[in-house]
Every structure is written in structure tokens, then in C-alpha cells.
Amino acid sequence: MSSVVLATHNPKKLAELRRIVAASGVELAVLGLDDVASYPEPAETEPTFEGNALIKARAAVAVTGLPALADDSGLEVDVLNGMPGVRTARWAGAKASDEENRRLLLAQIDDVHDDARGARFVCCVALVLPDGTEEVVRADWPGRIAHEESGDQGFGYDPIFVAEGQAVTNAELSAEEKDTLSHRGRAVRAMVERLRLRGAEEEQ
């Protein structure tokens, strides 16, 4: 396996995956959806991160014929009964910006005390191969929701999420720190290790 397509147009997610793959020492070219022929992307209709990741990976492998990775990630807030969950990117509406999503979430828990602002980022990474093989790995990153935005790194809800053991938001961490600690970093590293082992088996 020399190439894999990541089912995303998000340049920050693509850059993050490429950094993690490079750091792992696996020789793997990571393509994004902008690098392959365009196709109608499927609706994410599953109620779970695992299900939506598989929907995206299956569509990518069907069109490109390449091994496909897809992630579905989101934020679960305790006091909101685990929401936004799979609606994380659309919390303030189908076309809402990251800033609008953050602003709505902060307003919804504005009067919630620090002790009850627990939350976690969740990432599920799915791998689908041309032969129909499918794997999914999941990683959680616990923390809490800050009272206001801080930092200009990262994306999404990073400016309002303070990870467990940290004193600053994700948006104040360097890319390297975030890759090491994050839900996506851990899920992707686990999947990259599976790819490495699969490649070693194929060579035997």
C-alpha cells in the first residue's frame, strides 16, 4: 500500500494526517479529495461517529479504487447530554461557521459552573480497502469547555476546549503538542500502525 486517500476537503485535517504519517516513519502518500476525481459526497446519515466515518470511506474507495481513510469527529458536552455529537460541525445550522458554532455552544452553557462543564472530543477513523476490508478505531480526548475563546491555532471548537491536564485551550497548543495529545492524533496513529502491520504482512 503506497497511497491512501483521506475523504476530506479540509486542508487542516489533511495536513494533520500527513504530519502524523510522516512522524510514524510509514512510507505512505496521503491524498485528499481535491487530489482525486470529484464525486457526489454521501450524506452523513448515521447516528454515530463510527457509522459516518464508514459512509465517507466507503464512498471514497468506490470512486477512487484506492484504500480510503475517513474520520468523523465531534464534541460531546456532558451538560448537553453528549451533544453536539455527530452534529458538531452543524450545531448552529447547516452552513454555520466555526465561530457561529462556538458562540452558540458558549451561550447554551453560559451559566454552567466550572465543575459541570466537562466535555470530550471524539474521533473515529475508518479504513476501507478495495477488497472490502473495513476497520474502525476510536479515541476520546477529555476536557472541559472554557468560558470564552482563547488562541488562534487549530480549528473548530479548539479555542473553547481545555484538554484534561492542560491550562490553555487547544487553540493555544502548537501543532506538535496537539498531534501528540489529541483524539484525532491518537486515532490516526493507531490506524497508521495497523496500516504498517498490514504492509509488513503483505511483504512476507
Q: Do residues 76 and 69 make contact, with C-beta atoms less than 8 angstroms apart?
A: no
Please identify every residue annotated as catalytic. Answer: 72
Q: Binding residue per annotation — 147? A: no
For 133, phi then psi, to 5°, come to -65, 135
Q: Binding residue per annotation — 56? A: no
Q: Binding residue per annotation — 13? A: yes
Grid coordinates of 168 = 490553555
Q: Binding residue per annotation — 12? A: yes
As a whole number of angstroms, the distance between CA 37 and CA 52 comes to 21
Q: Binding residue per annotation — 10? A: yes
Nearest to 133 by CA among 47, 201, 56, 68: 68
Q: Binding residue per annotation — 113? A: no
Q: Binding residue per annotation — 156? A: yes
As a whole number of angstroms, the distance between CA 93 and CA 75 comes to 16
Binding residue ranges for Mg(2+): 72
Binding residue ranges for substrate: 8-13, 73, 155-158, 178, 183-184
Binding residue ranges: 8-13, 72-73, 155-158, 178, 183-184
